[in-house]
Amino acid sequence: MTTLSFTLVVWTVATVAGFLGALTGLGGGVVVVPVLTLALGVDIKYAIGASLVSVIATSSGAAAAYVREGYSNIRIGMLLEIAATIGAILGAYLAGFTSTHIIAIIFGLVLIQSAYQSLRNSAPEADHPTLSDRLGTIFKLGGDYPLGGKRQEYGVQNVPAGFGLMFGAGALSGLLGIGSGAVKVIAMDRAMKIPFKVSTTTSNFMIGVTAAASAGVYLSRGYIDPRVSMPVMLGVLAGAFLGTKVLVRVNVRTLRVVFGSVVLLLAIEMIVNGILGKI
């Protein structure tokens, strides 16, 4: 494969990844890492480095639009990002001492759990608001978002559980380069009872900061190659802008099915190839 054709293929893959990342809050890394590794033969640690760059691009491309349209909850994002950033630095440090086969298998197992949670809970969201619990009220984490031409209020619950899950999400981000959007969405959606569209958009707001914290570690170790990272970043950014336009017109059930199906297929591929030692 020539350099030009390789760049075009990577850019196309990254555009699709950015679209899915913006649409579901995944951050694009769950598509970029497996395709670069399995289909294009890129070393998984270089793929993770490029993925972290793409995650930052996705967050930059999608987060501004979601904040402007009133979907993202900035207060929730800033609070939970404290735990996620600490976890990301720890995960990136551990990645330097972990076998690529083990990383691939962990990657796949995390994605299977994410897919299961998404597909199991694919029913539409309830129209009634959720009341905040004591901590949610103290920190004033509740808000509202556009729904059916009006502003739908919602509350926030189980803040300590969400904070703990965000630490784990950050560690996975640093270790796997996926932005941990899948885990962040589930933590906010399932544990903290935040509406799915608010969860995905707030996840997009957060993942750039998490990825930046761990990308510095990968850069210092030489795992970010501009020949891979540049087309990935440009493609993901283009796909993210497209995804923001589509999200507001897609219902929650469809989002969950897309989220779960894509993640499940990639998870199986990663686990099989990790066990067979092809990564």
How far apart CA 240 and CA 249 sit, in angstroms, is: 15
What pLDDT score was predicted for residue 128? 46
Is 263 within 8 Å of 109 (Cβ atoms)? Answer: no
pTM: 0.71
Is 215 within 8 Å of 53 (Cβ atoms)? Answer: yes
How far apart CA 12 and CA 206 sit, in angstroms, is: 25
Name 113's Cβ contacts closer than 8 Å, sequence gap at least 6.
Answer: none
* Nearest alpha-carbon partner for 242 in 14, 22, 9: 22
Sequence spans of domains, the chain: 3-276
* Nearest alpha-carbon partner for 58 in 239, 217, 228, 187: 239
Coarse DSSP helix, strand, coil percentages of the chain, rounded to the nearest 5 percent: 75, 5, 20
How far apart CA 206 and CA 201 sit, in angstroms, is: 9
Give the position of tokens 């086969």: 101
What pLDDT score was predicted for residue 93? 85
Residue pLDDT tens, the chain, 279 long: 788 899 999 999 889 877 876 676 666 677 788 888 888 888 888 988 888 887 777 676 667 777 888 888 999 999 999 999 899 889 888 877 888 788 778 878 877 876 776 676 554 455 445 788 899 899 999 999 988 788 889 999 999 999 998 998 888 878 876 666 667 877 888 888 898 888 888 887 887 787 887 888 888 888 899 999 999 989 888 887 888 778 767 766 777 677 778 778 778 877 887 888 766
The three-state secondary structure class of 224 is: coil
Q: Phi and psi (nearest 5°) for 54?
A: -65, -35
Q: Which two tokens stand for residue 185?
A: 């969405």
How far apart CA 110 and CA 89 sit, in angstroms, is: 19
What pLDDT score was predicted for residue 76? 93
The three-state secondary structure class of 153 is: strand
* Nearest alpha-carbon partner for 52 in 201, 170, 212, 266: 212
- H/E stretch holding 106 reads helix 100-120
